Structure 1
Amino acid sequence: MTAELTRGQNHPLPGARLEIRVSAGTTIVAGATLGDENGEVHGVEWVAHPGTPTLPGLEVSRQAAAEHRLAVDLEAVPDVVHRVSVLLALPVGGAGPARFGAVAAPFVAVTGLDGGEVASYTITGLEAESAVVALELYRRQGAWKVRAVGQGYAGGLAELLTDQNLPQAHQLAGSIQEAVAGGLARSVPAPPAPGARTADGDRSWTAAAPAHGPDHGAAAPHGTTGPVPPASPYDPQGGSDPHTPGAPGQHGARQPYPGGPGGSGTAGQPSEPDGSGPIDYSHPRRRNAAPPPPPPSAPPPTPGQPTRPVAGDATGWSMEERLYNQVWGMFEDLARTTAAYRSAVDFADSRMEKELDQVLSDPRNRIGGQGDAARGAARARHAQLVSQAQEVLDRDVAQLAAEAEVVEPALPAACASWDSPVWHTYRVPMEIPMALRLGDLHLPESPRISIPLLARLPLERGLWIDSGRSTSLDGSFTDSHEVRRLGLETAVAHAARLLAVHPAGEFTVHVIDPAGSGTRGLAPLVHSGVLAAPPALGAAGAADVLTRLTQRVDLVQMALRGGAPDALPPGLDTSQQLLVVNDFPHGFDDRAVNQLRYLADEGPAVGVHLMMVADREESAGYGPLLDPLWRSLLRLTPVADDHLADPWVGHAWTYEPPLVPPGSQVLQQVLAQVAEARRSCQR
């Protein structure tokens, strides 16, 4: 089970021998430092870099590249070492960009020897920084964990190493850049097979990577999300993570359409202010996945016409995975083409302003026909540039809209909207799906295209349905009571979908409603009989549910850490657990709040997930105590809102919650089947 980390989050490591994989949108230098209990680096011999790539228990790449694999053996590092920090830096003096803000967000993943991904992190929010501490492996009470750091340094490697108290920071930073300067023009060979010798004679002991689809993010959207990915903004996460392979702008076996992302469009081509050229908005995680599937059975395109879209044309081992990757590919493509359009319009605006300033700088042009002609010519050139950019955007959006028309009907129930026909033929599944739909995303330039916001299962982050006061996108105010009602209705729809996509008996839902204010909204769950018990009321009821779930987390953690996952107490419910909390913080004392935070932090790793329907302002009385809780949850809204951003270019995506159509009985019909399957398992 992969953990998609956000900045500051940590995750336990299952073993000592690991591989750290780095993907970036440009050539970078990768290295690592060894630190003591205080994180201090005592000398240059504690730094692994291209000039000195090997230290005890650690080996890094010998040259700069867009992708890196770092080998780590935590059992071989000296006992005095308590921290291994992974460093990324842009080469100095090359033809590439001078800041991380000009390229796609770097992606870092920790994998085991079998290639299975343990944890991943997409480093977002970088701007002027040219060096960054991506993540760190640290020793805590005899066990190792990984933490997502993402600390950037505008002063480059010298400033980064100085921050780690290395006395020779500036000299070492210079020698590292000198060591990679000679290798920038060399091509990077493909990663060697497990056990094969590399060109320099070293043996690679790390297994090859398995196929990974995009993870959410995505807040992404997540989001990543994934979001996207993917991820997901979702991560949507991933987060991918949103992330399939192929050349920039292509996802998997998809063909780039003319002028579209990855195609030959010209919008957005003006160089960035720092001279680094057009930004490649493709997400690096979309470059490592399964082999491409057989060519889809679609008629060949007419010469000169865009490729006819086909559902499932991305890479993946199954149709479900191919559709999942295709959705996040569409998400990324829409982000890229919109970014190109906005860049072209900004360029046209700045060019017109410059031309008008030049005209007005000459007093002779401020009045008379000559000045009017110059101003008219500047505005005409501006209109022409904007028109060209709009033409390319319209073409790209039309192709994506055609793709959405064939992908949406092909989505399985877990990823389909509530009005999809697949729900009318619903049957309780036998296997857990890859992902779950959390809503839809679209951009103001293309409102007719909605991209499903998909999150990988099991959920790595809890959900926060914001029931606070809301202002709709058109500026109208939404009544607070109406938002609360919609918030609980949205939470019920999410909980029902989670129940519906899991096999019978493998997902359990608990509800805490201290004030009993959600009786009407919770009726579909209560009346269908899918809940483990009636909603807990009052402070005593909330304390009872929280105590039982925290004890379950403790027991499973102890069993896993002791290497005896089968030694759990008889009768312990080992299914995935979801706790729905309504109207927080009413009915919660300090002890209950701490238990809630514990479940949010430690629960997802052992199958306990949290969904809160809450107004953050109402919990302001707790002060900063609850800030980590809100940050650990993926915020969703019960009304349309533009609070989610993708991890690549930072677009503000409009999020639409996945509400059941008014008057539809699909929710009741699905829950009735889930309840019947649950009763059959208990007989």
Structure 2
Amino acid sequence: MTAELVRGQNHPVPHGTVEVRVTAGTALLALASLADERGRLGGPAALAHPGAPAPPGIRVPGEAAERHTLAVDLDAVGPEVHSIGLLLVLPPDGPPRFGAVPAPHVVVAEPGGDGFAAFALTGLDAETALTALELYRRQGAWKVRAVGQGYADGLAALLTDGGLAAPEAAALAAEALRAAAPGGEAERSLAALPPHAQDRDAAPRTPGTVPEPPDPLPAPATPYAGTPGSAPAPAGPASPGPGGGAPGGGTPGGGAPGGGGPTIDYAHPRRRRTTAEAPEPAPRPAPAPADPDAPPVPVAGDASGWSMDERLYNQVWGMFEDLARTVAAYRGAVDFADSRLDRELDEALSDPRHRLGGSGGDAREAARARRDDLVAQARAVLDRDLAQLTAESEVVEPALPAAYARWDNPVWHGGGTPEEGPLALRLGNLSLPESPGLKIPMLMRLPMERGLWIDNGRTGSEAAMTMDTDRLRRAAMDMAVAHAARLLAVHPADRFSVHVIDAAGAGSAALAPLVAAGVLAAPPAAGAAGVAETLARLTRRVDLVQMALRAGAPEDLPPDLDPAEQLLIVHDFPHGFDDRAVTQLRYLADEGPSAGVHLLMVADRDEASAYGPLLDPLWRSLMRLSPVPDHHLADPWVQHAWTFEPDLPPQGSRVLHQALDRVARARRAARP
């Protein structure tokens, strides 16, 4: 049975050798790209085209044609290759765009046999080159993913997005198009793989020694904070994921930003590597299951990265992506089954023969049975994927470092302070209605490129409307204090400072652990004078850092300037703020992150709306979170409405106080 994939859906590859069959309504070129563990193309050899030497295990066709068959021997592919992309390109003398021709159809099949996965590339418009699908490694086994990401500027733009320099990409694209033109290089036979590839056992592949990196996400490394169902702006080619570009720039409660280009971005999050050192070796693979048909045994840290923290971070994002796409496939299958049922019921009612003799009832029952069968099949696939993700979560969650871990994780009871700052910070948990018990950590890349807005208003969500106002405001402030405590605990001593503006003193009870431990940079600022003094001090810091950076002399900062990263918690805004203070606050939100000053607002959006247009840019620039379960966040692939739940210390636990006590002791020990 062939699985009809939708954009973003993946499917296991059960054979060591596969054929990729392309059918199109016009002549086009079929090429292949070879990416490394970071998802990047490593030079001209990373594009398999008719004018280049054939890479191991891959053969590409020659001239443009309406039908192509690519054969890939996955066991012969070099270990440095972690993903193989099928590229479809319109020739220079062909149609002007894919939107003007019938949708291409791609089938992945056993050599000479039936297909096991198919993908129709519908919805194309101005694209002239696209990545149709990719074969990629995941936990040592191979999978196929339907991609369907196109580029209006052609093959050169696609290669540039893959990591090649623009001149190199343009030259390589021109070389490939020349080689595939009539009279160019002779067409390579796709059936002529090495003889051993044809005889290889087609049993499912067991986990290998090199783990596949999870698909990178656009940065900042948080789910897209826009209206569920809206598409984020595509990230640029350099965006990694949980660091580099930015779709996460939607409004905290509003629509998605505009912008042209593809609406789904498959550039993945990965850490910027600033040294030439080799990455740490990958973790040892799990033993192959006794049953060859069983899924791979999950392993914590089974992803690419230079450290275990980075591998776990990338693995969490891989789990988040897998859950998003497997649920999208299930929902798509249910929608298809429902629409087919409606169509068949309409046909049964419109057929005069079914109005006589009672055959109409039989036709309707048969249609409903077919619908139920389709839904049951889709649910079985979903349950299989959910079981695998749940097993992976049960292995990964206990292995997370403190920055990513829940507050009830035993890692918080360990002693000592870290020697370097963390890669990311856990904000809470994400889940979908199809599997509410499966919680995926929501991680935010550090240093923060956006501030946070914790909404303590009752109109923020359905759950908030049912809560007492005082309880909701206390929950929001408790959430802010928990984030501040986590940031302090996971940074080295004196590498992170926290300031608080609590103009009316309404947050004193929640702030008590920070105040008692003595870890704040200064006592919470109260009244209009305290607000003005704190904002002036942090604004001065941003100005001085920016001037020093522009002058190329960051070491010439005044000696009284705190070099640590700064977090400003603002409670009950706009109480105590005049127009000048609001302007300074907006300045800190816009310019602060580049100078190491980050903003955490705890406020009611409705109360703050009194400032109107003056405040809207501030609201829109921050990521909105809720102190109660809410579903205002959407992922950057299929825009599910995810349920967000904050991660707070367990009731009655002293884990937060113990963490702050360790911070205080470390600071005292670090001071001369």
TM-score (norm 2): 0.65
Task: Give the letter aligned to residue 602 of structure 2.
Answer: V
Kindly state the Cα deviation for residue 619 of structure 1 after the two structures are TM-superposed: 1.3
Kindly state the Cα deviation for residue 298 of structure 1 after the two structures are TM-superposed: 1.4
Q: Distance in 1 between matches of 2:595 and 2:382?
A: 45
Matched residue, 1:326 = 315
Q: Which runs of 5+ in 2 are unaligned?
A: 1-37, 42-85, 90-95, 106-122, 129-149, 176-212, 248-261, 274-278
Q: Distance in 2 between matches of 1:396 and 1:242?
A: 29
Q: Distance in 2 between matches of 1:533 and 1:340?
A: 52
Q: Residues 288 and 610 from structure 1, CA distance in 2 versus in 1: closer, same or farther, beyond 3 angstroms?
A: closer
Q: Residues 214 and 355 from structure 1, CA distance in 2 versus in 1: closer, same or farther, beyond 3 angstroms?
A: closer
Task: Give the letter aligned to residue 220 of structure 1.
Answer: P
Q: Distance in 2 between matches of 1:412 and 1:130?
A: 45
Matched residue, 1:311 = 300
Matched residue, 2:397 = 408
Q: Residues 200 and 493 from structure 1, CA distance in 2 versus in 1: closer, same or farther, beyond 3 angstroms?
A: closer
Q: 2:658 aligns with which of 662, 666, 669?
A: 669
> Secondary structure at the residue paired with 1:343?
helix
Matched residue, 1:554 = 543
> Secondary structure at the residue paired with 2:644?
strand
- The reply to whether residue 285 of structure 1 matches residue 268 of structure 2 is yes
Q: What CA deviation, in whole Å up to 9, does each residue of 1:567-586 have, x standing for no partner?
A: 11122111100100000011
Matched residue, 1:383 = 372
Q: 1:370 aligns with which of 350, 355, 359?
A: 359
Q: Residues 228 and 364 from structure 1, CA distance in 2 versus in 1: closer, same or farther, beyond 3 angstroms?
A: closer
Q: What CA deviation, in whole Å up to 9, does each residue of 1:508-530 have, x standing for no partner?
A: 10000000111101101111100
Within a 5 Å distance, the mapping from 1:28-67 to structure 2 comes to none
Q: 1:512 aligns with which of 501, 525, 544?
A: 501
Kindly state the Cα deviation for residue 534 of structure 1 after the two structures are TM-superposed: 0.7
Matched residue, 2:406 = 417
- The reply to whether residue 602 of structure 1 matches residue 585 of structure 2 is no
> Secondary structure at the residue paired with 1:285?
coil
Kindly state the Cα deviation for residue 412 of structure 1 after the two structures are TM-superposed: 0.5
Contact 1:228 1:242 in 2 (8 A): no
Q: What CA deviation, in whole Å up to 9, does each residue of 1:614-650 have, x standing for no partner?
A: 0010012111211110111111110000000001110
Task: Give the letter aligned to residue 422 of structure 2.
Answer: P
Kindly state the Cα deviation for residue 428 of structure 1 after the two structures are TM-superposed: 1.3
Matched residue, 2:223 = 220
Kindly state the Cα deviation for residue 456 of structure 1 after the two structures are TM-superposed: 1.1
Task: Give the letter aligned to residue 390 of structure 2.
Answer: A
Within a 5 Å distance, the mapping from 1:37-186 to structure 2 comes to 91-93=98-100, 130=126
Contact 1:216 1:222 in 2 (8 A): no
Q: Distance in 2 between matches of 1:212 and 1:352?
A: 35
Q: Distance in 1 between matches of 2:341 and 2:174?
A: 58
Kindly state the Cα deviation for residue 300 of structure 1 after the two structures are TM-superposed: 1.0
- The reply to whether residue 483 of structure 1 matches residue 466 of structure 2 is no
Q: Distance in 1 between matches of 2:315 and 2:446?
A: 17
Contact 1:600 1:632 in 2 (8 A): yes
> Secondary structure at the residue paired with 2:302?
coil
Contact 1:352 1:378 in 2 (8 A): yes
Kindly state the Cα deviation for residue 192 of structure 1 after the two structures are TM-superposed: 8.0
Matched residue, 2:451 = 462
Contact 2:458 2:464 in 1 (8 A): no
Matched residue, 1:633 = 622
Kindly state the Cα deviation for residue 554 of structure 1 after the two structures are TM-superposed: 0.2
Task: Give the letter aligned to residue 638 of structure 1.
Answer: P
Q: Residues 66 and 582 from structure 1, CA distance in 2 versus in 1: closer, same or farther, beyond 3 angstroms?
A: farther
Q: 2:423 aligns with which of 409, 413, 434?
A: 434
Matched residue, 2:80 = none
Kindly state the Cα deviation for residue 200 of structure 1 after the two structures are TM-superposed: 8.1
Q: What CA deviation, in whole Å up to 9, does each residue of 1:27-83 have, x standing for no partner?
A: xxxxxxxxxxxxxxxxxxxxxxxxxxxxxxxxxxxxx9699xxxxxxxxxxxxxxxx
Identity %: 59
The RMSD of aligned alpha carbons is: 4.3
Q: Which runs of 5+ in 1 are unaligned?
A: 1-20, 25-63, 68-88, 99-126, 133-155, 158-175, 203-209, 244-278
Q: Distance in 2 between matches of 1:501 and 1:373?
A: 65
Kindly state the Cα deviation for residue 284 of structure 1 after the two structures are TM-superposed: 3.0
Contact 1:217 1:229 in 2 (8 A): no
Task: Give the letter aligned to residue 285 of structure 1.
Answer: H
Q: 2:567 aligns with which of 567, 578, 583?
A: 578
Matched residue, 1:55 = none
Q: 2:284 aligns with which of 296, 303, 326?
A: 296
> Secondary structure at the residue paired with 1:449?
strand
Q: Residues 474 and 550 from structure 1, CA distance in 2 versus in 1: closer, same or farther, beyond 3 angstroms?
A: closer
Contact 1:472 1:478 in 2 (8 A): no
Q: Distance in 2 between matches of 1:408 and 1:418?
A: 12
Contact 1:281 1:336 in 2 (8 A): no
Matched residue, 1:117 = none
Q: Distance in 2 between matches of 1:424 and 1:662?
A: 16
Q: Residues 367 and 425 from structure 1, CA distance in 2 versus in 1: closer, same or farther, beyond 3 angstroms?
A: farther
Q: Distance in 2 between matches of 1:574 and 1:190?
A: 34
> Secondary structure at the residue paired with 1:450?
strand
